[in-house]
Amino acid sequence: MLAKEEILNVRRNTDAVFCMLCGEIFSAGSLVVSRHKISFIITSESIKFLQKVKEQLIICFQINENDIKINESKKHLKTKSELIISADEGYRVLSELEIIRKNKDGEIEVATSISKNICYDEDCKKAYLAGAFCGAGTISVPEDNGQTKGYHMEWVASSLEKAETISELLAEFNIITRRVERGESVIVYIKESDSISMALTLLGATKNMLNLENSKITRQVRNNINRQSNCLSANLDKVMNASAKQVRAINIISETVGLESLSDSLKEIAVLRLNNPEASLSELVEKLEGRITRAGLSDRLNKLIKLSKTLGEENE
């Protein structure tokens, strides 16, 4: 909702606001017939959204404030509010936005997408996408509590034509989308975090885009730290398991033939390991002051393990 509030508060020129109203009506509006005229109502869970639409209508069409009402109602524990406009003014708005128009026979036709006469430049296209998103769009990002696992941004359209218009407009700004049907609606959505950042910037939600990028960087750093920690833990387990195996082997030798029976080179390594059971091979090499390589040390420890196995078999 924070993203929508930021988008709604972006300053736009009059032509762009016209396009934004088109997006809002197409996404959250329903046509109604009153006194033989086609008008509309806009439904939303957000009072702030409806108040902004009312403000836009009053400014763009000089509508008397008394001709637009916002009614709040609660259904099924959810608050659904409606913006209701008078029949005459609603008809005028729809006509000037070219959402309805008369054909050659004088019959009224309802447009399935925004008119190119209205949406003619980049600012207008951005405003239309902004209106469509504020009317019926959502965005979610991964949360630490695990309730939201991935990035997702979507526009909900009531028809394939409206969905195609949204996809085509976003494509003009190099944002590639996918579509899926959900009930009677068609969903235009983005999953890639970079594309979502581009879309937020396009719609005017710069602060939300920066917050998304910051959270993404924080999450990446945290994941890297966790990976490194897991890697260190795994290496430590590997060192401790190897050391335990070597210490057991040396103890078997000590209890059977005794460490004195070993050659001086093997005895030195056996005593060193017994005195430093938690040390890694590299740490043992340092204690030997470089008199033996890591590979040489490993070879001698393996010889002690083999000898202990032989002694164990003989004892059995």
Report the CATH number at residue 35. Answer: 3.10.28.10
pLDDT of residue 77 exceeding 80? no
pLDDT for the residue 127: 96
Which one of 204, 229, 258 terminates a domain?
Answer: 204
Whole-structure pTM value = 0.69
- Examine residue 233 and state whether it is found in any structural domain, yes or no: no
Name the token pair of 37.
């005229």
For helices 206-256 and 264-275, give the axis angle rounded to 10 degrees.
Answer: 130
Residues 6+ apart with CB under 8 A from 36: none
pLDDT for the residue 313: 60
186 and 255 together in one domain = no
Residues 6+ apart with CB under 8 A from 184: 158
Distance in angstroms (rounded) separating the CA atoms of residues 283 and 269? 13
10 and 156 together in one domain = yes
**Does residue 22 contact residue 128 with C-beta atoms inside 8 Å?**
yes
- Examine residue 270 and state whether it is found in any structural domain, yes or no: yes
37 has which bridge partners?
Answer: 34
pLDDT for the residue 196: 92
Strands 37-44 and 29-34: antiparallel
251 and 200 together in one domain = no
How many domains does the structure of the chain reveal? 2
**Does residue 136 contact residue 28 with C-beta atoms inside 8 Å?**
yes
Name the token pair of 214.
């910051």
The residue segments making up the domain with residue 69 are 2-204
Q: Confidence band (pLDDT; 50, 70, 90) for 203?
A: very high
- Examine residue 228 and state whether it is found in any structural domain, yes or no: no
Give the tens place of pLDDT for each residue, 105-153: 778 888 888 998 899 999 999 999 999 999 999 998 876 555 567 889 9
Give the tens place of pLDDT for each residue, 6-20: 999 999 999 999 999
Report the range of poorest mean pLDDT among 147-151, 186-190, 289-293: 147-151
Which conformational region is residue 146 in: left (phi greater than 0), alpha (psi within -120 to 50 degrees), or beta? Answer: left
